[in-house]
Structure 1
Amino acid sequence: MKEHWLVIGATSAIARACIRELAQQGADITLVGRDLSDLEASASDARLRGAENARVLPCDVGDPHARQILLEQALIEQTRLNVLVAVGLMPEQDTMDTDPALLARMVESTYTGPMALLQGLAPHFERQAGGQVVVIGSVAGDRGRRKNYLYGSAKAGLATYAEGLRARLFPCGATVTVVKPGFIDTAMTWGLPGLFLVSSPESCAKAILKAAKKGQAVLYHPGFWRLIMLIIRHIPPTIMKRLKF
Protein backbone atom coordinates (compact mmCIF):
# COMPACT_ATOMS: atom_id res chain seq x y z
CA MET A 1 0.00 0.00 0.00
CA LYS A 2 1.29 3.47 -0.88
CA GLU A 3 2.62 5.61 1.96
CA HIS A 4 0.84 8.87 2.84
CA TRP A 5 2.50 11.38 5.15
CA LEU A 6 0.39 14.00 6.90
CA VAL A 7 2.86 16.76 7.79
CA ILE A 8 1.45 19.09 10.44
CA GLY A 9 3.47 22.29 10.64
CA ALA A 10 4.78 21.88 7.11
CA THR A 11 6.40 25.33 6.94
CA SER A 12 9.02 24.58 9.60
CA ALA A 13 12.57 24.05 8.36
CA ILE A 14 12.74 20.46 9.61
CA ALA A 15 9.36 19.63 8.07
CA ARG A 16 10.39 21.12 4.73
CA ALA A 17 13.51 18.96 4.67
CA CYS A 18 11.46 15.87 5.55
CA ILE A 19 8.98 16.68 2.77
CA ARG A 20 11.80 16.85 0.22
CA GLU A 21 13.07 13.45 1.35
CA LEU A 22 9.58 11.91 1.29
CA ALA A 23 8.86 13.34 -2.16
CA GLN A 24 11.97 11.63 -3.52
CA GLN A 25 10.60 8.37 -2.11
CA GLY A 26 7.36 8.89 -4.06
CA ALA A 27 5.07 9.14 -1.03
CA ASP A 28 1.77 10.99 -1.05
CA ILE A 29 2.14 14.10 1.11
CA THR A 30 -0.42 16.36 2.78
CA LEU A 31 1.07 19.69 3.89
CA VAL A 32 -0.76 21.27 6.81
CA GLY A 33 -0.30 24.81 8.12
CA ARG A 34 -1.61 28.36 8.13
CA ASP A 35 0.34 30.01 5.29
CA LEU A 36 -1.37 28.63 2.20
CA SER A 37 0.85 30.36 -0.35
CA ASP A 38 3.95 28.98 1.35
CA LEU A 39 2.40 25.50 1.54
CA GLU A 40 1.41 25.57 -2.13
CA ALA A 41 4.97 26.45 -3.11
CA SER A 42 6.31 23.54 -1.07
CA ALA A 43 3.69 21.21 -2.55
CA SER A 44 4.72 22.21 -6.08
CA ASP A 45 8.35 21.55 -5.21
CA ALA A 46 7.40 18.14 -3.76
CA ARG A 47 5.64 17.18 -7.00
CA LEU A 48 8.72 18.08 -9.00
CA ARG A 49 10.80 15.87 -6.70
CA GLY A 50 8.59 12.80 -7.20
CA ALA A 51 5.45 13.12 -5.06
CA GLU A 52 2.61 12.47 -7.50
CA ASN A 53 0.04 13.54 -4.93
CA ALA A 54 1.10 16.52 -2.81
CA ARG A 55 -1.86 18.46 -1.47
CA VAL A 56 -2.40 21.33 0.97
CA LEU A 57 -4.83 21.55 3.88
CA PRO A 58 -5.18 24.73 5.97
CA CYS A 59 -5.21 24.43 9.74
CA ASP A 60 -4.38 26.53 12.76
CA VAL A 61 -3.63 23.80 15.31
CA GLY A 62 -4.61 26.19 18.09
CA ASP A 63 -8.20 26.35 16.77
CA PRO A 64 -10.40 23.40 17.86
CA HIS A 65 -12.79 23.91 14.92
CA ALA A 66 -9.93 23.94 12.42
CA ARG A 67 -8.54 20.77 13.99
CA GLN A 68 -11.85 19.00 13.56
CA ILE A 69 -12.03 19.95 9.88
CA LEU A 70 -8.49 18.69 9.37
CA LEU A 71 -9.32 15.35 10.97
CA GLU A 72 -12.28 14.98 8.60
CA GLN A 73 -10.08 15.64 5.55
CA ALA A 74 -6.81 14.02 6.61
CA LEU A 75 -7.09 10.56 5.05
CA ILE A 76 -6.39 9.52 1.47
CA GLU A 77 -8.07 6.31 0.38
CA GLN A 78 -5.92 3.31 -0.50
CA THR A 79 -2.88 4.70 1.34
CA ARG A 80 -1.24 3.97 4.67
CA LEU A 81 -1.29 6.99 6.96
CA ASN A 82 1.88 8.29 8.65
CA VAL A 83 2.05 11.55 10.60
CA LEU A 84 4.81 14.06 11.24
CA VAL A 85 4.00 16.70 13.87
CA ALA A 86 6.44 19.58 13.52
CA VAL A 87 4.42 22.45 14.93
CA GLY A 88 5.31 24.65 17.89
CA LEU A 89 5.61 28.20 19.14
CA MET A 90 8.60 29.44 21.17
CA PRO A 91 8.17 33.08 22.24
CA GLU A 92 10.62 34.72 24.59
CA GLN A 93 9.88 33.61 28.15
CA ASP A 94 10.08 37.18 29.45
CA THR A 95 7.35 38.15 26.98
CA MET A 96 5.10 35.28 28.07
CA ASP A 97 5.59 36.34 31.70
CA THR A 98 3.72 39.55 30.96
CA ASP A 99 1.35 38.32 28.25
CA PRO A 100 -1.02 35.55 29.45
CA ALA A 101 -2.67 35.37 26.03
CA LEU A 102 0.68 34.64 24.37
CA LEU A 103 1.40 31.98 26.98
CA ALA A 104 -1.96 30.35 26.23
CA ARG A 105 -1.24 30.40 22.47
CA MET A 106 2.14 28.79 23.05
CA VAL A 107 0.58 25.95 25.05
CA GLU A 108 -2.22 25.48 22.51
CA SER A 109 0.16 25.44 19.55
CA THR A 110 2.94 23.41 21.14
CA TYR A 111 1.03 20.90 23.26
CA THR A 112 -2.76 20.98 23.34
CA GLY A 113 -3.34 21.24 19.60
CA PRO A 114 -0.85 18.56 18.48
CA MET A 115 -2.04 16.24 21.25
CA ALA A 116 -5.69 16.66 20.23
CA LEU A 117 -4.89 15.94 16.57
CA LEU A 118 -2.92 12.80 17.37
CA GLN A 119 -5.64 11.62 19.70
CA GLY A 120 -8.16 12.09 16.91
CA LEU A 121 -6.00 10.11 14.48
CA ALA A 122 -5.18 7.26 16.89
CA PRO A 123 -8.26 5.14 16.02
CA HIS A 124 -7.28 5.18 12.35
CA PHE A 125 -3.81 3.83 13.15
CA GLU A 126 -5.49 1.04 15.08
CA ARG A 127 -7.82 0.25 12.17
CA GLN A 128 -5.03 0.20 9.59
CA ALA A 129 -2.84 -1.88 11.93
CA GLY A 130 0.37 0.05 11.40
CA GLY A 131 1.91 3.33 10.40
CA GLN A 132 4.52 5.74 11.69
CA VAL A 133 3.99 8.72 13.98
CA VAL A 134 6.81 11.24 14.38
CA VAL A 135 6.58 13.98 16.99
CA ILE A 136 9.15 16.78 17.02
CA GLY A 137 9.86 17.48 20.65
CA SER A 138 12.86 19.31 22.08
CA VAL A 139 15.76 18.82 24.44
CA ALA A 140 14.13 21.74 26.31
CA GLY A 141 11.53 19.26 27.55
CA ASP A 142 14.06 17.06 29.35
CA ARG A 143 14.58 19.42 32.29
CA GLY A 144 12.97 22.58 33.60
CA ARG A 145 15.44 25.44 33.11
CA ARG A 146 15.06 28.92 34.50
CA LYS A 147 15.16 30.68 31.11
CA ASN A 148 12.91 28.31 29.14
CA TYR A 149 10.67 26.31 31.46
CA LEU A 150 7.36 27.46 29.95
CA TYR A 151 8.13 26.22 26.44
CA GLY A 152 10.05 23.27 27.89
CA SER A 153 7.07 22.17 29.95
CA ALA A 154 4.84 22.13 26.85
CA LYS A 155 7.36 19.99 24.97
CA ALA A 156 7.71 17.71 28.01
CA GLY A 157 3.95 17.26 28.09
CA LEU A 158 3.91 16.36 24.40
CA ALA A 159 6.70 13.82 24.89
CA THR A 160 4.82 12.21 27.78
CA TYR A 161 1.67 12.05 25.69
CA ALA A 162 3.64 10.46 22.84
CA GLU A 163 5.00 7.82 25.21
CA GLY A 164 1.46 6.88 26.22
CA LEU A 165 0.32 6.88 22.59
CA ARG A 166 3.24 4.59 21.75
CA ALA A 167 1.98 2.10 24.34
CA ARG A 168 -1.58 2.35 23.03
CA LEU A 169 -0.57 1.75 19.41
CA PHE A 170 1.99 -0.97 20.09
CA PRO A 171 -0.53 -3.86 19.85
CA CYS A 172 -1.61 -2.74 16.35
CA GLY A 173 1.94 -2.39 15.02
CA ALA A 174 2.09 1.40 14.68
CA THR A 175 5.19 3.18 16.00
CA VAL A 176 5.73 6.54 17.67
CA THR A 177 9.10 8.31 17.43
CA VAL A 178 9.84 11.39 19.52
CA VAL A 179 12.57 13.58 18.04
CA LYS A 180 14.54 15.83 20.38
CA PRO A 181 16.63 18.19 18.26
CA GLY A 182 19.47 20.13 19.76
CA PHE A 183 20.66 23.15 17.80
CA ILE A 184 19.33 23.02 14.23
CA ASP A 185 19.86 25.81 11.73
CA THR A 186 16.25 27.09 11.62
CA ALA A 187 14.39 30.38 12.00
CA MET A 188 13.56 29.39 15.60
CA THR A 189 17.24 29.25 16.59
CA TRP A 190 18.52 32.12 14.42
CA GLY A 191 20.47 34.63 16.48
CA LEU A 192 20.27 32.74 19.77
CA PRO A 193 23.43 33.11 21.88
CA GLY A 194 25.58 30.15 22.82
CA LEU A 195 24.86 27.93 19.81
CA PHE A 196 27.47 25.30 18.96
CA LEU A 197 27.80 22.38 16.54
CA VAL A 198 24.61 23.34 14.73
CA SER A 199 23.13 20.66 12.45
CA SER A 200 21.34 21.26 9.15
CA PRO A 201 17.62 20.56 8.63
CA GLU A 202 18.58 18.15 5.83
CA SER A 203 20.77 16.06 8.13
CA CYS A 204 18.05 16.09 10.76
CA ALA A 205 15.39 14.99 8.23
CA LYS A 206 17.44 12.00 7.07
CA ALA A 207 17.97 10.93 10.70
CA ILE A 208 14.27 11.39 11.50
CA LEU A 209 12.97 9.26 8.62
CA LYS A 210 15.57 6.56 9.29
CA ALA A 211 14.56 6.42 12.96
CA ALA A 212 10.85 6.36 12.10
CA LYS A 213 11.33 3.51 9.64
CA LYS A 214 13.10 1.48 12.36
CA GLY A 215 10.38 2.31 14.90
CA GLN A 216 12.92 3.99 17.18
CA ALA A 217 11.26 5.42 20.28
CA VAL A 218 13.44 8.50 20.86
CA LEU A 219 15.92 10.27 18.61
CA TYR A 220 18.34 12.94 19.79
CA HIS A 221 19.86 14.89 16.91
CA PRO A 222 22.73 15.53 16.66
CA GLY A 223 23.40 12.31 18.56
CA PHE A 224 25.76 13.82 21.13
CA TRP A 225 22.75 15.60 22.66
CA ARG A 226 21.75 12.28 24.22
CA LEU A 227 24.88 12.42 26.38
CA ILE A 228 24.51 16.14 27.10
CA MET A 229 20.92 15.69 28.28
CA LEU A 230 21.82 12.57 30.26
CA ILE A 231 24.24 14.72 32.24
CA ILE A 232 21.74 17.56 32.65
CA ARG A 233 18.97 15.18 33.78
CA HIS A 234 21.25 13.91 36.55
CA ILE A 235 22.09 17.33 37.98
CA PRO A 236 20.62 17.32 41.52
CA PRO A 237 17.66 19.69 42.07
CA THR A 238 19.63 21.52 44.77
CA ILE A 239 22.15 22.52 42.10
CA MET A 240 19.74 22.82 39.16
CA LYS A 241 17.68 25.53 40.82
CA ARG A 242 20.80 27.71 41.16
CA LEU A 243 21.80 27.50 37.50
CA LYS A 244 20.93 30.54 35.38
CA PHE A 245 20.79 28.96 31.90
Structure 2
Amino acid sequence: MTGQNVVILGATSAVAERYARLHAARGARLVLAGRDAKRLAAIAADLKARGAADAQVALVDLALPQDGFDAAWTAMSAKLEDRVDTVLVAYGILGDQKAAERDITEMTRQLTTNMTSACAWLTVAANYLERQGEGTLIAIASVAGDRGRQSNYVYGAAKGGLALFAQGMAHRFAGTKVKVLTVKPGFIDTPMTDGLAKGGPLWATPEKVAADIDTAATKGATTLYTPWFWMGIMMIIRNLPGAIFNRMKI
Protein backbone atom coordinates (compact mmCIF):
# COMPACT_ATOMS: atom_id res chain seq x y z
CA MET A 1 0.00 0.00 0.00
CA THR A 2 3.06 2.28 -0.06
CA GLY A 3 3.06 5.26 -2.42
CA GLN A 4 -0.21 4.52 -4.16
CA ASN A 5 -2.18 6.72 -6.55
CA VAL A 6 -5.54 7.34 -4.89
CA VAL A 7 -8.74 9.04 -6.06
CA ILE A 8 -11.18 10.06 -3.32
CA LEU A 9 -14.69 11.04 -4.36
CA GLY A 10 -16.16 13.09 -1.54
CA ALA A 11 -12.81 14.01 -0.01
CA THR A 12 -14.25 16.57 2.43
CA SER A 13 -16.13 13.91 4.40
CA ALA A 14 -14.61 13.16 7.80
CA VAL A 15 -13.98 9.48 7.05
CA ALA A 16 -12.50 10.23 3.63
CA GLU A 17 -10.14 12.83 5.08
CA ARG A 18 -8.88 10.40 7.74
CA TYR A 19 -8.47 7.69 5.11
CA ALA A 20 -6.48 10.10 2.96
CA ARG A 21 -4.18 10.84 5.88
CA LEU A 22 -3.28 7.16 6.15
CA HIS A 23 -2.21 7.14 2.51
CA ALA A 24 -0.44 10.49 2.82
CA ALA A 25 1.78 9.04 5.55
CA ARG A 26 2.89 6.40 3.02
CA GLY A 27 3.81 8.95 0.38
CA ALA A 28 0.74 8.52 -1.83
CA ARG A 29 -0.34 10.78 -4.66
CA LEU A 30 -3.97 11.78 -4.24
CA VAL A 31 -6.77 13.42 -6.17
CA LEU A 32 -9.43 14.93 -3.92
CA ALA A 33 -12.82 15.41 -5.57
CA GLY A 34 -15.71 17.50 -4.30
CA ARG A 35 -17.46 20.87 -4.54
CA ASP A 36 -15.93 22.92 -1.71
CA ALA A 37 -12.81 24.46 -3.26
CA LYS A 38 -11.60 26.15 -0.07
CA ARG A 39 -12.01 23.05 2.07
CA LEU A 40 -10.41 20.78 -0.53
CA ALA A 41 -7.41 23.10 -0.82
CA ALA A 42 -6.94 23.06 2.94
CA ILE A 43 -7.12 19.26 3.03
CA ALA A 44 -4.65 18.98 0.15
CA ALA A 45 -2.16 21.23 1.94
CA ASP A 46 -2.55 19.23 5.15
CA LEU A 47 -1.97 15.93 3.32
CA LYS A 48 1.23 17.24 1.74
CA ALA A 49 2.45 18.29 5.17
CA ARG A 50 1.70 14.75 6.37
CA GLY A 51 3.91 13.19 3.70
CA ALA A 52 1.82 12.89 0.55
CA ALA A 53 3.93 12.98 -2.60
CA ASP A 54 1.16 15.06 -4.17
CA ALA A 55 -2.43 16.06 -3.45
CA GLN A 56 -4.46 17.68 -6.21
CA VAL A 57 -8.02 18.99 -6.20
CA ALA A 58 -10.81 18.15 -8.65
CA LEU A 59 -13.80 20.47 -8.38
CA VAL A 60 -16.86 18.49 -9.40
CA ASP A 61 -20.48 18.06 -8.39
CA LEU A 62 -20.29 14.33 -7.79
CA ALA A 63 -24.06 13.86 -7.88
CA LEU A 64 -24.28 15.46 -11.32
CA PRO A 65 -20.92 16.26 -12.94
CA GLN A 66 -21.29 19.07 -15.47
CA ASP A 67 -19.36 17.35 -18.26
CA GLY A 68 -20.56 13.83 -17.43
CA PHE A 69 -19.05 11.02 -15.40
CA ASP A 70 -16.66 9.76 -18.07
CA ALA A 71 -15.14 13.16 -18.79
CA ALA A 72 -14.82 13.99 -15.11
CA TRP A 73 -13.11 10.66 -14.43
CA THR A 74 -10.72 11.13 -17.35
CA ALA A 75 -9.69 14.51 -15.97
CA MET A 76 -9.11 13.08 -12.50
CA SER A 77 -7.11 10.06 -13.64
CA ALA A 78 -4.99 12.31 -15.86
CA LYS A 79 -3.84 14.16 -12.74
CA LEU A 80 -2.26 10.86 -11.68
CA GLU A 81 -0.72 10.23 -15.11
CA ASP A 82 -3.33 7.57 -15.86
CA ARG A 83 -2.41 5.19 -13.07
CA VAL A 84 -4.95 4.69 -10.26
CA ASP A 85 -4.46 2.11 -7.54
CA THR A 86 -7.36 2.86 -5.20
CA VAL A 87 -10.69 4.65 -5.57
CA LEU A 88 -12.83 5.59 -2.56
CA VAL A 89 -16.46 6.60 -3.13
CA ALA A 90 -17.24 8.38 0.13
CA TYR A 91 -19.80 11.11 -0.50
CA GLY A 92 -23.49 11.21 0.37
CA ILE A 93 -26.22 13.04 2.27
CA LEU A 94 -28.18 11.86 5.28
CA GLY A 95 -31.28 13.70 4.08
CA ASP A 96 -34.59 14.36 5.79
CA GLN A 97 -36.86 11.32 5.80
CA LYS A 98 -40.05 13.30 6.46
CA ALA A 99 -39.24 15.78 3.70
CA ALA A 100 -38.62 12.91 1.28
CA GLU A 101 -41.98 11.38 2.18
CA ARG A 102 -43.78 14.62 1.30
CA ASP A 103 -41.73 15.80 -1.67
CA ILE A 104 -40.94 13.54 -4.62
CA THR A 105 -38.24 15.94 -5.80
CA GLU A 106 -36.48 15.70 -2.45
CA MET A 107 -36.81 11.93 -2.41
CA THR A 108 -35.33 11.73 -5.91
CA ARG A 109 -32.47 14.04 -4.92
CA GLN A 110 -31.56 11.79 -2.02
CA LEU A 111 -31.70 8.63 -4.11
CA THR A 112 -29.71 10.22 -6.93
CA THR A 113 -26.98 11.50 -4.64
CA ASN A 114 -26.62 8.43 -2.45
CA MET A 115 -27.17 5.67 -4.99
CA THR A 116 -27.56 6.45 -8.68
CA SER A 117 -24.59 8.78 -9.04
CA ALA A 118 -22.43 6.62 -6.76
CA CYS A 119 -23.20 3.58 -8.92
CA ALA A 120 -22.22 5.60 -11.99
CA TRP A 121 -18.85 6.44 -10.44
CA LEU A 122 -18.33 2.81 -9.47
CA THR A 123 -18.98 1.77 -13.06
CA VAL A 124 -16.65 4.33 -14.61
CA ALA A 125 -13.89 3.56 -12.12
CA ALA A 126 -14.35 -0.22 -12.36
CA ASN A 127 -14.10 -0.18 -16.13
CA TYR A 128 -10.92 1.87 -15.84
CA LEU A 129 -9.40 -0.55 -13.33
CA GLU A 130 -10.42 -3.48 -15.53
CA ARG A 131 -8.55 -1.99 -18.49
CA GLN A 132 -5.60 -1.31 -16.20
CA GLY A 133 -5.69 -4.90 -14.98
CA GLU A 134 -5.73 -4.22 -11.25
CA GLY A 135 -6.80 -1.86 -8.50
CA THR A 136 -9.09 -1.48 -5.52
CA LEU A 137 -12.54 0.13 -5.52
CA ILE A 138 -14.17 1.04 -2.20
CA ALA A 139 -17.80 2.08 -1.77
CA ILE A 140 -19.10 3.43 1.54
CA ALA A 141 -22.68 2.25 2.02
CA SER A 142 -24.34 1.91 5.46
CA VAL A 143 -25.87 -0.55 7.87
CA ALA A 144 -29.08 1.41 7.21
CA GLY A 145 -29.34 -0.47 3.93
CA ASP A 146 -29.67 -3.89 5.56
CA ARG A 147 -33.38 -3.52 6.39
CA GLY A 148 -35.87 -0.77 5.67
CA ARG A 149 -36.91 1.16 8.79
CA GLN A 150 -39.49 3.90 9.16
CA SER A 151 -36.96 6.43 10.46
CA ASN A 152 -34.71 6.48 7.38
CA TYR A 153 -35.95 4.16 4.64
CA VAL A 154 -35.16 6.58 1.79
CA TYR A 155 -31.54 6.85 2.90
CA GLY A 156 -31.51 3.13 3.70
CA ALA A 157 -32.91 2.20 0.28
CA ALA A 158 -30.22 4.25 -1.44
CA LYS A 159 -27.40 2.77 0.62
CA GLY A 160 -28.86 -0.71 0.33
CA GLY A 161 -29.00 -0.35 -3.45
CA LEU A 162 -25.42 0.92 -3.51
CA ALA A 163 -24.27 -2.02 -1.39
CA LEU A 164 -26.01 -4.56 -3.63
CA PHE A 165 -24.53 -2.91 -6.71
CA ALA A 166 -21.01 -2.97 -5.27
CA GLN A 167 -21.39 -6.56 -4.09
CA GLY A 168 -22.45 -7.60 -7.58
CA MET A 169 -19.45 -5.78 -8.97
CA ALA A 170 -17.19 -7.68 -6.55
CA HIS A 171 -18.68 -10.89 -7.91
CA ARG A 172 -18.04 -9.66 -11.47
CA PHE A 173 -14.34 -9.28 -10.70
CA ALA A 174 -13.94 -12.36 -8.51
CA GLY A 175 -10.69 -14.13 -9.33
CA THR A 176 -9.12 -11.03 -10.89
CA LYS A 177 -6.79 -8.33 -9.59
CA VAL A 178 -9.62 -5.81 -9.42
CA LYS A 179 -10.99 -5.78 -5.87
CA VAL A 180 -14.28 -4.21 -4.76
CA LEU A 181 -14.95 -3.51 -1.09
CA THR A 182 -18.39 -2.58 0.26
CA VAL A 183 -18.21 -0.72 3.58
CA LYS A 184 -21.18 -0.70 5.98
CA PRO A 185 -20.53 1.69 8.85
CA GLY A 186 -22.83 2.20 11.78
CA PHE A 187 -23.10 5.52 13.62
CA ILE A 188 -20.10 7.79 13.03
CA ASP A 189 -19.45 11.01 14.94
CA THR A 190 -19.11 13.40 11.98
CA PRO A 191 -20.64 16.73 10.89
CA MET A 192 -23.08 14.72 8.76
CA THR A 193 -24.66 13.28 11.92
CA ASP A 194 -24.71 16.51 13.95
CA GLY A 195 -28.50 16.44 13.97
CA LEU A 196 -28.56 13.15 15.88
CA ALA A 197 -28.11 12.51 19.58
CA LYS A 198 -24.59 11.16 19.98
CA GLY A 199 -22.73 9.15 22.56
CA GLY A 200 -22.54 5.58 23.73
CA PRO A 201 -20.82 2.39 22.60
CA LEU A 202 -22.50 2.25 19.18
CA TRP A 203 -20.79 5.43 17.97
CA ALA A 204 -17.41 5.30 16.23
CA THR A 205 -14.87 7.95 15.32
CA PRO A 206 -13.91 8.72 11.69
CA GLU A 207 -10.38 7.58 12.54
CA LYS A 208 -11.63 4.14 13.60
CA VAL A 209 -13.73 3.68 10.48
CA ALA A 210 -10.95 4.89 8.18
CA ALA A 211 -8.47 2.49 9.79
CA ASP A 212 -10.90 -0.42 9.40
CA ILE A 213 -11.41 0.43 5.73
CA ASP A 214 -7.67 0.59 5.17
CA THR A 215 -7.12 -2.80 6.80
CA ALA A 216 -9.99 -4.48 4.93
CA ALA A 217 -8.83 -3.09 1.59
CA THR A 218 -5.28 -4.29 2.22
CA LYS A 219 -6.59 -7.79 2.92
CA GLY A 220 -8.74 -7.83 -0.23
CA ALA A 221 -12.01 -8.13 1.69
CA THR A 222 -15.30 -7.67 -0.15
CA THR A 223 -17.56 -6.57 2.74
CA LEU A 224 -16.78 -4.66 5.92
CA TYR A 225 -19.05 -3.83 8.84
CA THR A 226 -17.42 -1.15 10.96
CA PRO A 227 -17.09 -1.28 13.89
CA TRP A 228 -17.19 -5.08 13.75
CA PHE A 229 -20.15 -5.53 16.12
CA TRP A 230 -22.57 -4.08 13.56
CA MET A 231 -22.42 -7.37 11.68
CA GLY A 232 -24.11 -9.12 14.61
CA ILE A 233 -26.55 -6.29 15.27
CA MET A 234 -27.73 -6.17 11.68
CA MET A 235 -27.97 -9.95 11.46
CA ILE A 236 -30.47 -9.82 14.32
CA ILE A 237 -32.41 -6.92 12.79
CA ARG A 238 -32.55 -8.56 9.35
CA ASN A 239 -33.92 -11.78 10.82
CA LEU A 240 -36.51 -10.39 13.20
CA PRO A 241 -39.99 -11.68 12.28
CA GLY A 242 -42.20 -9.00 10.76
CA ALA A 243 -44.71 -9.22 13.60
CA ILE A 244 -41.99 -8.20 16.06
CA PHE A 245 -40.15 -5.78 13.81
CA ASN A 246 -43.31 -3.82 12.96
CA ARG A 247 -43.88 -3.02 16.63
CA MET A 248 -40.49 -1.37 16.90
CA LYS A 249 -40.09 2.39 16.51
CA ILE A 250 -36.70 2.48 14.84
Q: TM-score range by the shorter chain?
A: over 0.9
Query: Is contact 2:6–2:30 with CA below 8 Å preserved after alignment?
Result: yes
Q: What one-letter code is carried by the residue in structure 2 that aligns with 1:205? A: A
- Describe how 1:134-213 pairs up with structure 2 within 5 A: 134-193=138-197, 195-197=199-201, 198-213=203-218
Check the 8 A contact 1:2/1:79 in 2, yes or no. no
**Partner of residue 60, structure 2:** 59
Match of 2:76 in 1: 74
For 2:162, give the aligned amino acid.
Answer: L
Give the structure 2 partner of residue 129 of structure 1.
133
Shift of 1:40: 0.7
Q: SS where residue 65 of structure 1 aligns?
A: coil
The answer to whether the Cα contact below 8 Å between 1:36 and 1:58 also exists between their aligned partners in 2 is yes
Question: Equivalent of 2:223, from 206, 218, 222?
Answer: 218
Deviation at 1:194, TM superposition (A): 6.7
CA shift in 2, pair 1:209/1:109, >3 Å: same
Change (3 A) 1:39 1:194: closer
Q: Which residue in the other structure is 2:247 paired with?
A: 242
CA distance in structure 1 between the partners assigned to 2:192 and 2:84 by the alignment? 31
Cα distance in 2 for residues equivalent to 1:129 and 1:39: 30
Distance 1:169 1:58 in 2: 30
The CA distance in 1 between the partners of 2:215 and 2:85, in whole Å, is 17
TM-score by length of 1: 0.94
Query: Any gaps of 5 or more consecutive residues in structure 2?
Result: none
| CA shift digits 1:62-91 (9 cap, x unpaired) | 215343332121212263431001111111
* Secondary structure of 1:220's aligned partner: strand
Q: Is the 8 A contact 1:110 1:155 kept in 2?
A: yes
Q: Deviations over 1:198-221 (max 9, x none)?
A: 211111111110100111111111
- After alignment, is 152-161 or 189-198 more displaced? 189-198
Rounded to whole Å, the distance in 2 between the matches of 1:171 and 1:181 is 26
Aligned to 1:30: 31
Q: Which moved more, 1:116-125 or 1:164-173?
A: 164-173
**What is the RMSD computed on CA atoms of the aligned residues?**
1.7
Distance 1:214 1:32 in 2: 25
Matching residue's letter, 1:40: A
Aligned counterpart, 2:117: 113
Amino acid at match of 1:54: A
Whether the aligned pair in 2 keeps the contact of 1:166 and 1:176 (CA below 8 Å) is yes
For the 8 Å contact 1:85–1:135, the answer to whether it is kept is yes
Q: Report the AA paired with residue 234 of structure 1.
A: N
Q: Secondary structure at the match of 2:73?
A: helix
Structure 1 runs (4+) greater than 4 angstroms displaced: none
- Match of 2:170, as an amino acid? R
Query: Which residue does 2:41 correspond to in 1?
Result: 40
Identical counterparts, % of pairs: 40
Aligned to 2:95, what secondary structure does the other structure show?
Answer: coil
Which residue in the other structure is 1:49 paired with?
50
SS at match of 2:188: coil
CA contact (8 A) 2:3 2:26 kept: no
Q: Tell me the secondary structure at the aligned position of residue 172 of structure 1.
A: coil
